[in-house]
Copies of this chain bind each other. A is one copy, B any other.
């Protein structure tokens, strides 16, 4: 019945728009760079970029373009790019906005395919600027250019054979394994400065500004294939193409050589989003959508720059934890409790030591020490006691990762302990992080740990949170790469219904038509039948067993209850017959005798179950967004619903169900049996296929889907489908 398929989305919803695969390597490793708008005036951007290139040790040739100057930093100026007697791999443009278009054309004429436009004065300043930007994008498409910017800080590549700092940041970052892309240019300068303080280095550092041409998705793919990049950091204020982002990020985080993506997306609150719009001129999507997209793509969404730098060090360690069993070694009880709290709060567990470990610790630790997890080596511990404790704990098969906490007491030999931790990290195949609490006395130890590449934190909470984030990512990379379930359905029949309704000028389907659509996609539907006479109604009711419900059916009758068009709980022939006749009469009385009536929908009255809502709304930027939640006023008031972009992979349906806060109600409380989750998941997957295959559907609701205890399935009781006009 069902088969697994490759991603059907690319064909189905036109997200293939992003499919031009860009080779951005010449942009990041150019042999020659023209700096158009280079300047001799110190303190200007036009002066900073050639200076950064030359002082940063760029390995290629720099051509400053300036019709008035003879040389800049010793490099001979040319009056225009056309005057350069060499192929120019990359042009960096720093001209005033109105002059940029002409420069782009000249560069294209000269054969340059890659450009970085630093200049501001485009989309972010209003309609005039936006028009300028669109004209440049048109040139890029026509001439096959790749353009980063405008309105950005520039690009940096620290690879030793390139050493390109084509940015106006203060100085070249140290080389490292982090690739960073950022929509905000100014933030980049702060990020570079934090990185300096944290002793973190970068492989590539890209400020992409208004992304008129090259987008975050192009840059993610570029960092994914860069062998100098192990971790990707990104800062965005909006995402241009949700579907392309999900596909690219999923491939990067879940492929054969997964790389973590730490993403900060601002504009979380409504007012924040308004500020984003005025900042970049881009319309930010609602925050729920971004959460859904990130989670679906395996992207680690961070809430602050601080988290970005707290999480990065653990990912620089290639050893992934085999599980979430965590050991804590501390010389102070209080911080041990803090770490324990944070461990549990972050969804991990305290490792339970094996008998041998306990014996070994008991033998080696003083009597007052706590040998259970968290191991308290007590305040007077020196490095030898830390070493014994670490040896015992790291050897324990129940332990997957270790946090070493040090408070600087009078006898604490901070540096020697750091050495012990560094060595343990070298020889142990499990991730180890350190928490050296304090700021001054512990700092020589912290320095040493950084030399050993041991992630080190000031606070136990931060250490634990970083471990938890990596552990979740490790689980994500191990999760099977499930495909998209494909159900055999009657898609043509559904298209026919839609065509018929649209032809009749109806874009909101009445219930009987909506139920037919879901039926053709194999959803479990409450038994129903359209009766045109009272006799037909009685016959249908007998067939589906009493009690039944009657609902008026007609092309214009959307609010059935208001016109007396619903009767519940009819238990025998007579009630159905009388109900049918009265209903027709009442509806005609209220809507006029010439109202078009198709008949009466006879439905089996469903036994009480848990009421679920499934829905879809098509986001203009992101495409079809599936929603899942419990029914009823409670869920709505608390906004306790889960979103995912369709199509969803097989395992995502189950994740969506577990995502809501009130999931416990589905597991069953007060001795109830758990609900039939498999039935809900099946409906979600069918829904995913339905909305992916039929772009005519603008939005829909199944409300309620009545769900019964495990093994007893679910039933679509009512549904609403709205088509695009």
Q: Within 8 Å CB of A279, what residues of B?
A: 333-334, 336-337, 370, 376
In-complex Cβ contact of A266 among B48, B271, B341 (8 A): B341
Q: Within 8 Å CB of A662, what residues of B?
A: 634, 637-638
- Tell me if B633 and A634 are in contact (CB < 8 A): no
- Tell me if B344 and A272 are in contact (CB < 8 A): yes
Identify the closest chain B residue to A193 (Cβ). B438
Q: Within 8 Å CB of A439, what residues of B?
A: 193-194, 196-198
- Tell me if A193 and B275 are in contact (CB < 8 A): no
- Tell me if A269 and B344 are in contact (CB < 8 A): yes
Q: Does A216 contact B (CB under 8 A)?
A: no
- Tell me if A407 and B637 are in contact (CB < 8 A): no
Q: Within 8 Å CB of A647, what residues of B?
A: none
Question: A361-385: which have CB < 8 Å to B?
Answer: 368, 370, 372, 374, 376, 379
- Tell me if B341 and A280 are in contact (CB < 8 A): no
- Tell me if B269 and A345 are in contact (CB < 8 A): yes
Q: Mark A159-198 against chain B: 1 for CB-CB distance below 8 A, else 0.
A: 0000000001110000000000011111101101110111
- Tell me if B438 and A333 are in contact (CB < 8 A): no
Q: Complex formed: what's the CA distance from A545 to B438 in Å?
A: 72
Closest CB in chain B relative to A418 CB, distance in Å: 15
Q: Within 8 Å CB of A332, what residues of B?
A: 184-187, 189-190
Q: Within 8 Å CB of A183, what residues of B?
A: 334
Closest CB in chain B relative to A554 CB, distance in Å: 27
Closest CB in chain B relative to A64 CB, distance in Å: 18
- Tell me if A333 and B186 are in contact (CB < 8 A): yes
Q: Does A547 contact B (CB under 8 A)?
A: no
- Tell me if A266 and B441 are in contact (CB < 8 A): no
- Tell me if B193 and A440 are in contact (CB < 8 A): yes
Q: Does A461 contact B (CB under 8 A)?
A: yes
In-complex Cβ contact of A669 among B45, B194, B268, B637 (8 A): B637
Q: Does A665 contact B (CB under 8 A)?
A: yes
Closest CB in chain B relative to A340 CB, distance in Å: 5
Q: Does A410 contact B (CB under 8 A)?
A: yes
- Tell me if A461 and B303 are in contact (CB < 8 A): yes
Closest CB in chain B relative to A313 CB, distance in Å: 14
Q: Within 8 Å CB of A344, what residues of B?
A: 269-272
Q: Does A487 contact B (CB under 8 A)?
A: no
Identify the closest chain B residue to A183 (Cβ). B334
Q: Within 8 Å CB of A170, what residues of B?
A: 408-410, 441
Q: Does A459 contact B (CB under 8 A)?
A: yes
Q: Does A237 contact B (CB under 8 A)?
A: yes
- Tell me if B638 and A197 are in contact (CB < 8 A): no
Q: Does A350 contact B (CB under 8 A)?
A: yes
Q: Complex formed: what's the CA distance from A43 to B664 in Å?
A: 55
Q: Complex formed: what's the CA distance from A350 to B462 in Å?
A: 29
Which of A275, A280, A306 neighbours the largest number of chain B CB atoms within 10 Å of its CB?
A275
For this complex, 12 residue pairs linking A to B, each with C-beta atoms less than 8 Å apart, are: A45-B410, A183-B334, A186-B409, A190-B437, A193-B408, A193-B441, A237-B334, A266-B341, A268-B341, A269-B341, A275-B340, A306-B459
Interface of A toward B, CB cutoff 8 Å: 43, 45, 48, 120-121, 125, 168-170, 182-187, 189-190, 192-194, 196-198, 235, 237, 266-272, 275-276, 278-280, 303-306, 331-338, 340-341, 343-345, 350, 368, 370, 372, 374, 376, 379, 407-411, 437-442, 458-459, 461-462, 633-634, 636-638, 661-662, 664-665, 669-670
Query: Would you list the 6 A-B pairs with minimal beta carbon distance, nearest first?
Result: A197-B439, A193-B438, A186-B332, A184-B334, A190-B437, A272-B341
